[in-house]
Chain A
């Protein structure tokens, strides 16, 4: 028990440090760009015709940035506001706060990504295990392996474009964009849920088909590698059935690298989904970020980047907690 606690506190420390570094970088970067960071905002406001309470807005930001004070004070002020959950106001949507915007879009992104990732990881891992155990001779493997190799190298958006071309333009099965049909009553009714699903299928497929390739290949090569292990040999000598050896001896040992591979690839998946959301106009954090970029809504950009990093690091931390349950040796290793 103690070793587990020690392990958890170690990972937690890393979690905190990473977030701290991220927060700091998000703070520093805008200040590295020459010029008054507020200038970008005020000039944008001037473009918009200076409407919607701009003097108050500028004052808010002067306070938020504390520009008349030394950098360290600014930093501390920034941290303080952050701990209160205050990420500032969205410029294009004043008086909507950044936090509100994020709360609206996060569920979409988390929903899409978690479903797509879990599905592709599960399918890829299982098929990969079976394919790896069967060896190079199996006919299915001969087809699946090159297919997976070809798929996983291309970024999500390329597949997305092709899918859109086929399923929206040519065959017209799926809707063009969005998270749901505009005007649809947003509540937990069956028609709404179905509508949401219909809108998420293409974005999800773009992620699933490509990620599948990667999970398949990595699990497969892991299993193939494991086949030479001594404990597999002994399991065979014990007269255990092939199935039992695959799932209880090989699979369970290959699982840990697969799960840690999941943690490593999360960053990549998130990056790719931002672009996907733009292409599909899917109302998640990526779409929010994209729009903030075009509108130069700096607070939202910063807030969005920060939240995504925190979410990712948290996901990594949760996965860290799962490892010892899969592989009992983890607690005892250092680092």
Chain B
């Protein structure tokens, strides 16, 4: 069942395009990070404010640091934050969603209210509150903070899935009285869960990266490590737009946009694969 799902995904055009863009950006960043000398990212490595040239492909910033190096590091860190936060959020969310849907009753009522509250309140606000209280965040720290809010959406979706499957499981049970509940659950639920969880994971990554860049632009990102959001923060702090340093803010904006679009394409691809199959099954 798993192989069939992945196979279909690979055939979906949107999924493939998104996947390729994302992987290209990521691998490009990793390669650049490994090959470009570290000293390029030190302050004063080059004359400040240089437009793209032969020696530094993307120019330098106001402190004389190479943009290319920063971009590479930024991509890696931002993606790292996104993936970690998404992973934690999706797993925790799936657990909570499953518990809520499966057990029902009071547990479900409480968890549902919690989910709704977390979803209706802008996570950015609370993230601001939390991040501003912590002095000096690290990349991992940021991932954890963002993960605090990343669970709500997967939880709600998984819960909905469990609820609909629960009904079918009982109907099946009435017919196949020999099968234990456990068997039905493992055979029906788990493959479905896998599909939904991977879709949720992609969405959560997108949301987490959006959260990271948002927080960082406000200056709440990691101070000692570079992320894409922080790059924009620095660019804005040094009025890069008004100084015409298009290579500084432009490269970051372009990269961020590409990553967001690629993740969104992945999401669309998942949607197309999962939903029509769901519909045809029912």
Q: Are A and B in contact, CB atoms below 8 Å, in the complex?
A: yes
Which positions in A face B, CB cutoff 8 Å? 14, 17-18, 21-22, 25-26, 29-30, 33, 40, 150, 153-155, 157-158, 161-162, 164-165, 168-169, 176, 264, 267-268, 270-272, 274-275, 278-279, 289-290, 292-294, 296, 298, 301-302, 305, 308-309, 312-313, 316
Q: Give min CB distance, B271 to chain A, whole Å.
A: 12
How many A-B pairs with Cβ below 8 Å? 116
Q: Check: B282 CB closer than 8 A to any chain A CB.
A: no
Q: How far is the CA of A275 from the CA of B129 in the complex (A)?
A: 14
Residues of chain A contacted by B130 (CB below 8 angstroms): 29
Q: Give min CB distance, A269 to chain B, whole Å.
A: 9
Q: Do A267 and B120 touch (CB < 8 A)?
A: yes
Q: Do B117 and A26 touch (CB < 8 A)?
A: no
Q: Do A153 and B264 touch (CB < 8 A)?
A: yes
Q: Check: B102 CB closer than 8 A to any chain A CB.
A: no
Q: Do B249 and A161 touch (CB < 8 A)?
A: yes
* Given A161-B253, A275-B217, CB of A305 within 8 Å of CB of B125: yes
Which positions in B face A, CB cutoff 8 Å? 113, 116-117, 119-126, 128-130, 132-134, 210, 213-214, 217-220, 232, 236, 241-242, 244, 246, 249, 253, 256-257, 260-261, 264
Residues of chain B contacted by A278 (CB below 8 angstroms): 217-218
Partner of A158, one of B113, B132, B253: B253
Residues of chain A contacted by B218 (CB below 8 angstroms): 274-275, 278, 290, 293
Q: Do A268 and B122 touch (CB < 8 A)?
A: yes
Q: Interface residues of B: mostly helix, strand, loop or mixed? A: helix
Partner of B124, one of A29, A40, A271: A271
Partner of B129, one of A14, A154, A158, A301: A301
Q: Do B241 and A274 touch (CB < 8 A)?
A: no
Q: Using A155-B260, A293-B220 as known contacts, list a sample of 20 further A-B pairs with CB atoms less than 8 Å apart, ordered by residue number in A.
A: A18-B117, A22-B117, A25-B126, A153-B264, A157-B232, A158-B256, A165-B246, A169-B241, A267-B119, A270-B122, A271-B125, A272-B124, A278-B217, A279-B217, A279-B236, A293-B128, A301-B128, A308-B125, A309-B121, A312-B122
